[in-house]
Structure 1
């Protein structure tokens, strides 16, 4: 559609003049323009006619916003923004200014995008991080897990109120009880509060380390991300097929750096005693109890142990 400015430059034939008068009448009689004039009686008809294109854009944006088709389909000239008019006095003259203001949907999307940028995932289904969460639904889905859910909620509240702790959480329980979901919820809530986080699915991470051995740059970049993020979650630890290098040089290095600095979290089907046995055994060297104990010394003292009871919800919601 041609802009009003282009219309005004056309030949002023009777038809165009009638159209111009109709537009002027529409603008002058629009409730928003009447409200503007009540607030600023210094605006004369001459001021309005001089700024007719700004006024037309202003009410057109308002009309679009009242019938908003969603941010992706925003029909305004500047997507996600609407025109706002301001009246100022400059050198004794009344001047009408127009500026673009972001709408609530645009601000909300910006906020969501910032939250997503604070979270990195390795081998974890992105849907677990991006879908909405409701505390009532989390609590009500399975009453058996209510005590563990309360502990996670309390950790979130404490972190928001007091800042980052050096202690993390070891969340263990049987298959399908919602351990990954709970940790993703925590990560999402604390990302909203400004904290960065990484969640790593351990079985695929350990398997992928074999290829990273040949790419020192990517390996260093990956481990540095895990070392320095505010919150690190090792998801499903104990389900991976460990090798000595992954356990001693990668896991050991990451945990050694983070202990007494930043919190690390774990989900597992094992309790701590069973996890130590798992960490003591590798496919290459068999059982090495002291090496498993050495890694556990970087885990157990720095976590709150939480047993997540509940039913297996895998396949029918969390």
Structure 2
């Protein structure tokens, strides 16, 4: 299991850090849990994750992270490992990660009527993929969970597996240390979106804080560099996993996104001075 140690450390923390920003993340609406985003996406230019706004990494969140790891390992034909900020001791550091909200959709290029494209073999159209995963408790019968994986419409290029994989796949058993009673209380279906539009060093703000000896060696394949996994829940998209050339795969699903840029101390002082002047 990925985050057992992180769960233990998180459960012993008694003092939670207060949120430093009251800006709420404006939802990115999807239509009927699909990959088409509404016009609300145009209103959000940038979001960021802040080390001081984390939520406790729970066992339920850990299951979600392991399902993502299980699916990514399958589609990339490699044993991948999702790190948590707790595992890399990043939860005790101060950092911010800036992300662009996925765009509404791609703009199709209109070809001139008199231009005839040469005949080339066309690959199958991209499709949503469904993964059935038997999740095994510490004892007893596995609980079947499903992950719906969608390509993001805003990506300039859709990863090849969305074209070549079957619509539905049945994955090997995912073993967990949890009781059957606990697993039976969990969410059994998740919808995630995948794009590879991030920079290869999109976690550069974390590089100085990380002990490279803790980075999994099997997270070095280029397919995960710039990878972004977004969770679709209640018509809202939130970042869940980010891939980076030095960190590998980082699970950030328990860090609530904040809209816009954080206010610096200089800006806060300037605003306070303006209020004093007006008064």
Q: TM-score, normalized by length of structure 2?
A: 0.24
Structure with the higher fraction of residues in helix conformation: 1
| Larger radius of gyration between Structure 1 and Structure 2 | 1
Provide the TM-score with structure 1 as the length reference: 0.22
